A and B are shown apart, each in its own frame.
Chain A
């Protein structure tokens, strides 16, 4: 399979999360666990700082969590200019209990009523598009 994100690669940060983006393009929400000690490592890394293992297992999870924090962007920032028409838009940092509280960013979609820290969110996977820089992305929606 050819992956869209690989043709539009963003360089920055630790950069060990290719498998996450591959997962989303395959319509799966996968997060990494240390193969040896089982610790959830997020953002993905190359080595488990706890046990020293270099092996990771990417586990498919239901994208379900709670709002850890959020912001509503009212300005067209240079490097995310693709979202100009959506301003103001909300980005949610969701805490995933099934992955020991790993926190995963995603844009909020749907009704904003009830957007508070602690609110339940359900994720859906959007295919690569210009707004998400040709990466597949998770979109959070407030649970009703």
Chain B
């Protein structure tokens, strides 16, 4: 049977600006149309020819609302990946599957949000599915739930505060070169980080993602078609989704408990399918609702361990162009902006194209990890032509 590896590629990127939450000039649906149309312009494709639509989590710009505005000739495929930000690379995987099986030819993968016409991000993404066990006991936000895991990561497994700080500083450092980045004016020196207010112990303000209005879309087509378009294809080498056994919607009762991101199994499957490993990765966009679980994702992917995380996760190692593992080169979820993590896909693709504002020279393998610690997650590896 034909696998995912190299059979499809991302060929178009479209993004609206990141608006301060609650200030977008239009609702999510309009932003979503703008992102999809601009992804088509980027790829040189007609928006009317997009025949597949895939999103994830609590996306509300569904295809039946989009198609009149896109002039869609025919919708041939549409799907939503469960259940939160964990689903992003998984959405690419669904898009790739639809193309490989001949169900669609041009699939838009997208996410749009606008608090100006909706509700706060953390309420929106929770989809009224937060268990009473949390709410009765004063816990409602992902940052609080992830703080429980971060406490284990730091106090029990010994990952030092310096690692969290380095991850945030690398993200903000990259944001300074990125005109799209909401956090580009922040100079995150040690003093600023250390003095930032606590949100949910151990998470300080700069350990948390941004919260923005905006939309981001990418277009996936077959590898064959990609070679005839005007953009450099970013081939999807692998994008597995899933949850380990003993996991699930278990309200902090996983066995074994993962103080990381619960992505170790996903990473193993991805390395096996792609034929590459952590040492081959040139650059990584690590989903960070909080940096602590992003560190967990890097541990799960084999970039470091609990024991050497403090040594490996330093500012110098994490920055482009020459760090051992440049991460979040657009500024990422912490410093560029946060449309539920979708901006990371665009940046991972830009790195393959050589178009990042913090380009890692001759990037061949570009990683994007999905929402860490999610009850279902996914991870994805993009490759250039020569990695196939």
Physical interaction between A and B: yes
Residues of A within 8 A of B (CB): 5, 10-15, 17, 21, 42-43, 68-75, 77-80, 83, 86, 88-89, 91, 93, 102-107, 116-117, 131-133, 135, 137
B221 CB, nearest partner CB in chain A, Å: 39
Partner of B252, one of A72, A83, A103: A103
Closest partner residue, chain B, to A42 (CB atom): B253
Partner of B249, one of A5, A14, A17, A131: A14
**Contact call A69/B131, Cβ cutoff below 8 A:** no
Partner of A91, one of B144, B149, B202, B251: B144
Task: Knowing that A14-B131, A71-B200, A78-B140 touch, tell me 16 more A-B residue pairs with CB under 8 angstroms.
Answer: A11-B128, A12-B130, A13-B133, A17-B132, A17-B133, A21-B132, A43-B251, A74-B197, A79-B140, A86-B138, A88-B198, A91-B139, A91-B144, A102-B253, A103-B251, A105-B136
Partner of A105, one of B139, B141, B201, B250: B139
**Contact call B123/A78, Cβ cutoff below 8 A:** yes
Complex CA–CA separation, A83 to B200 (angstroms): 14
Closest partner residue, chain A, to B123 (CB atom): A78
**Contact call B252/A133, Cβ cutoff below 8 A:** no
B156 at interface, CB cutoff 8 A:
yes
Complex CA–CA separation, A17 to B251 (angstroms): 12
**Contact call A73/B155, Cβ cutoff below 8 A:** no
**Contact call A75/B200, Cβ cutoff below 8 A:** yes
Closest partner residue, chain B, to A104 (CB atom): B133
**Contact call A132/B200, Cβ cutoff below 8 A:** no
**Contact call B129/A107, Cβ cutoff below 8 A:** no
B376 CB, nearest partner CB in chain A, Å: 15
**Contact call A12/B148, Cβ cutoff below 8 A:** no
**Contact call B130/A93, Cβ cutoff below 8 A:** no
Complex CA–CA separation, A135 to B122 (angstroms): 23
Partner of A43, one of B131, B138, B141, B202: B131
Partner of A83, one of B138, B147, B152, B197: B138
Closest partner residue, chain B, to A116 (CB atom): B155
**Contact call A137/B120, Cβ cutoff below 8 A:** no
Interface size of B by CB at 8 A reads: 38
Complex CA–CA separation, A71 to B151 (angstroms): 7
B229 at interface, CB cutoff 8 A:
no
Closest partner residue, chain B, to A92 (CB atom): B137
Q: Which residues of B contact A106 (CB under 8 A)?
A: 137
Complex CA–CA separation, A135 to B137 (angstroms): 10
**Contact call B198/A15, Cβ cutoff below 8 A:** no
**Contact call A77/B140, Cβ cutoff below 8 A:** yes
B134 at interface, CB cutoff 8 A:
yes
**Contact call A74/B152, Cβ cutoff below 8 A:** no
Query: With A102-B253, A105-B252, A117-B151 as given contacts, are A80 and B135 in contact (CB-CB < 8 Å)?
Result: yes
**Contact call A12/B140, Cβ cutoff below 8 A:** no
Partner of B137, one of A13, A43, A74, A91: A91
Q: Which residues of B contact A17 (CB under 8 A)?
A: 131-133
Query: With A69-B252, A116-B155 as given contacts, are A133 and B197 in contact (CB-CB < 8 Å)?
Result: no
Complex CA–CA separation, A78 to B250 (angstroms): 23
**Contact call B140/A70, Cβ cutoff below 8 A:** no
Complex CA–CA separation, A117 to B197 (angstroms): 23
